[in-house]
Amino acid sequence: MECETLLKFIELFSEHLRNLKNYIDVESVEKMIEAIDSSKAIFVIGAGRSGYIAKAFAMRLMHLGYTVYVIGETVTPRITKEDVLIAISGSGETLSVVNISKKAKDVIGSRLIAVTGNANSTLAKIADIVVLVRGKVKTMRDNAISKLAPLGTMFELTTMVFLDALISELMYRKKLTEKDLEARHAVLE
């Protein structure tokens, strides 16, 4: 069969995604929404592929009308205690993400939201709000996940879907339409 591995990956991810609604803690998500809505500005951080997910989320938040910045960009201003930092890390141990998160929370006084796959991680332990997004899970058959989706692939893809679903929720609550978002969409590309 041609593209057998590709089709197995799609099947595995589809199964994983179908289970997403069963393990997302809605109470934590509600706290995340409250923190986003009550903050002066939203800052996001992630390293590597999680950084790309963070940037995509920041763009969608901007489309909804939030003031949002990506840590590490040259136009990112100083974070304040009225702001929230959303840190994305599958392991919750990525040194740069953890260190910046500690500084934002402990030195500046900002609220910290951790989106991670590891409830026992350094990042989760210091966060005000933790949203767990499973990547690799023990229930996945025959260790197929490591063969088909190595390293952080499942966490990153699942986090992207979760955060886009969160954008849909925020869009609904703010009574925004696609036309509202288009008004903030880039035209110089």
49-73 pLDDT, tens digit per residue, is 889 999 999 999 999 999 999 999 9
Q: Tell me the pLDDT tens digit for each residue of 90-143.
A: 889 899 999 999 999 999 999 999 999 889 999 999 999 999 987 655 444 446
String of DSSP letters for the chain: -TTHHHHHHHHHHHHHHHTHHHH--HHHHHHHHHHHHH-S-EEEEE-THHHHHHHHHHHHHHHTT--EEETTSTT-----TTSEEEEEESSS--HHHHHHHHIIIIII--EEEEEES-TTSHHHHH-SEEEE---S-TTSGGGHHHHHS-TTHHHHHHHHHHHHHHHHHHHHHTT--HHHHHTTS----
- Report the pLDDT value the prediction gives residue 152, as an integer from 0 to 100: 52
Q: Where are the domains of the chain?
A: 28-177
Model confidence at 12, pLDDT cuts 50, 70, 90, reads confident
Mean pLDDT of 32-61: 95
- Rounded mean pLDDT, 138-157: 59
Which CATH superfamily hosts domain 28-177? Glucose-6-phosphate isomerase like protein; domain 1 (3.40.50.10490)
Q: Which of 1-15, 70-84, 119-133 has the lowest mean pLDDT?
A: 1-15
Average pLDDT taken over every residue of the chain = 85
Residues belonging to the active site? 156
